[in-house]
Structure 1
Amino acid sequence: MKKMQAGKFIYHVAEPGEKTGKTVLLYHGWGGTAGSWQAYAEELAKQGHRAVVPEIAYNDSRNPVANPFEMETVQIYFWKAIIESIEEFGEFREALGVPESDIVLVGSSMGGFIASGIFARYPEIAGLASINGSGAFVLTEQLFRERQDRSPLRKEEAELLNGFDPMQQGAGTGAVLLINGEQDRTVPLEGHAAYYRHLLESRNTGYTDRKIVKGAGHQFTREMEQEVADWLAGIK
């Protein structure tokens, strides 16, 4: 991958020899790096896609936080990174110089939250693949807090998340693939389940599928990678 910069945006690109597919934006998980996508980005480039990996706020070289997996740090910055990534997408797309209809969003873990939030705001985007993420922000945060024995969401906190929650917005007509590891203990599977129902109920068109990978936990497995690659091949 080649590292690029446009204004405040830092991103990495794997260019195909001949572009026959889409511009695929790959969003990594909390505490991850753009470099974690390198092998997969290069594989997608071989299949004719232009693979773009944005560096995410508070990760990589964009004001990274210290000790990202400490619980207090996660509680402060996890949603901030998601919300800022959603808010800046329009400007980032313009920096890339590609139309919405050429873009497919692929995200893993936190990246799946980001990709789902962007997809809900930009109806012409061609597709969304969320792996071990969630498209039900308020529900998932409520479940996080229950697991951690934390106080419920305050009204103002819920209102903030509702403003970005894909469950509260339209869903476009692009293809959607939601994947969960059956044994994921990090992000509750209920988030994808609720978002899947929302998509089926609110969309008259657009391919929508959800897959549960048996025996898998909270990781982007080789089987999942292949599922996404096969799904991408069907998006025109």
Structure 2
Amino acid sequence: MEYLKMNYSDINKINIGEVPAIIIEPNLKTNKTIVFYHGWGSCKENQIFRGNIFASYGYRVILPDARYHGERNNIDLDYTAEDIEAKYILKVIMHNIEEAPSIFKFIEENYPENEIAVGGHSMGAITAGGLYNFKKDLKMAFVYNGINDWHALVDALNKIKKEEKIDENEFRINEFFLDMNPMDSPENFKDRPIVLYNGEDDDIIDPAGQESFARKIEKIYSDKKLLDFQTFEATSHQVTTQMLEASIIFSKEIAGF
């Protein structure tokens, strides 16, 4: 991690309740904090480079470890196994959402009057989209290679699992995602700034699902500039420098964040 340290930011490990996290603090005073969630099979350390980019533009960045990831990988999951991902990913996202209030409380207590945004990649993007739906005072969402149509998400994962009957716990998790589907609450997004960026060649999350969500909520936006959905050519399931640049420009020039 030493090589990632920069003159314009301080990088420190912290614990927010039971959540191990990294906080990247820009050297200039800021009243803007981004909580950025990593994807499946990743960890908070792998997001430091991205976090440094945001910090260089004046944002404080908090990078949490998700359950079963990073310091919390206490059951040694095989992240490359499709059936393991299908079995656990919704549990991890739901746990992210359940833990988020403690992170927001930490920000409010330690950085009063801060504006808070959420962001993430892949599994982290799904987390961020859900939190933006639930928490109306969040100022912006950076959603990279995610999907906010949770019905399509649940269906896709159930097809991978190929189970004739799911257990009660998994059933309850599926019901949570179907009941709280952002696709069914477009009014929660109206005129709130959000970037929805997907790779055109993504073979992990079909960008068509996110496009369906974007087109649905676009209908109720009075100021359509605040909704920025883009698919990036020749881009797979990754966050590119082009995506980061476009989202920071949007944040500064359109969202005022």
TM-score of the aligned structures, taking structure 1 as reference length: 0.89
Task: Give, in angstroms, the shift of residue 52 of structure 1.
Answer: 1.0
Is the partner of 1:58 in helix, strand or coil? coil
Give 1:216's aligned residue. 235
Alignment coverage as a number of residue pairs: 235
User: After the TM superposition, which of the residue ranges 125-134 and 158-167 deviates more from structure 2?
Assistant: 158-167
Q: Does 1:51 align with 2:61?
A: yes
Percentage of pairs with the same residue: 22
User: After the TM superposition, which of the residue ranges 114-123 and 93-102 deviates more from structure 2?
Assistant: 93-102
Alignment equivalent of 2:176, drawn from 160, 185, 192: 160
Give 2:5's aligned residue. none
Change (3 A) 1:132 1:64: farther
Q: Does 1:182 align with 2:200?
A: yes
Task: Give, in angstroms, the shift of residue 189 of structure 1.
Answer: 1.3
User: After the TM superposition, which of the residue ranges 211-220 and 85-94 deviates more from structure 2?
Assistant: 85-94
Larger fraction in helix: 2
Give 1:92's aligned residue. 103
Alignment equivalent of 1:225, drawn from 244, 250, 257: 244
- The 5-angstrom pairing of residues 31-42 of structure 1 reads 31-42=41-52
User: After the TM superposition, which of the residue ranges 63-72 and 217-226 deviates more from structure 2?
Assistant: 63-72
- 2:247 and 2:203 map into 1 onto residues whose CA distance is 22
Give 1:103's aligned residue. 116
Conserved? CA contact 1:34–1:53, under 8 Å: yes
- The 5-angstrom pairing of residues 1-236 of structure 1 reads 1-20=11-30, 22-66=32-76, 67-97=78-108, 98=111, 102-146=115-159, 148=160, 150=162, 158-169=174-185, 170-171=188-189, 173-204=191-222, 207-234=226-253, 235-236=256-257
1:42 partner letter: N
1:30-50 deviation digits (Å, cap 9, x = unpaired): 000111111121122121110
The structure with the largest alpha-carbon Rg is 2
User: After the TM superposition, which of the residue ranges 96-105 and 61-70 deviates more from structure 2?
Assistant: 96-105
Change (3 A) 1:149 1:90: closer
Structure 2, unaligned stretches of length 5 or more?
1-10
1:184-219 deviation digits (Å, cap 9, x = unpaired): 000111221122123213444571010110000011
1:10-35 deviation digits (Å, cap 9, x = unpaired): 11111111134620111111000111
User: After the TM superposition, which of the residue ranges 103-112 and 163-172 deviates more from structure 2?
Assistant: 163-172
1:145-203 deviation digits (Å, cap 9, x = unpaired): 55x48369977665231233212332264311100101000011122112212321344
- 2:75 and 2:222 map into 1 onto residues whose CA distance is 42
- 2:52 and 2:161 map into 1 onto residues whose CA distance is 42
Structure 1, unaligned stretches of length 5 or more?
none
- 2:114 and 2:23 map into 1 onto residues whose CA distance is 19
Task: Give, in angstroms, the shift of residue 100 of structure 1.
Answer: 8.9
Conserved? CA contact 1:135–1:166, under 8 Å: yes
- 1:149 and 1:5 map into 2 onto residues whose CA distance is 34
1:98-136 deviation digits (Å, cap 9, x = unpaired): 579711111111111000000000011100111111111
- 2:214 and 2:120 map into 1 onto residues whose CA distance is 16
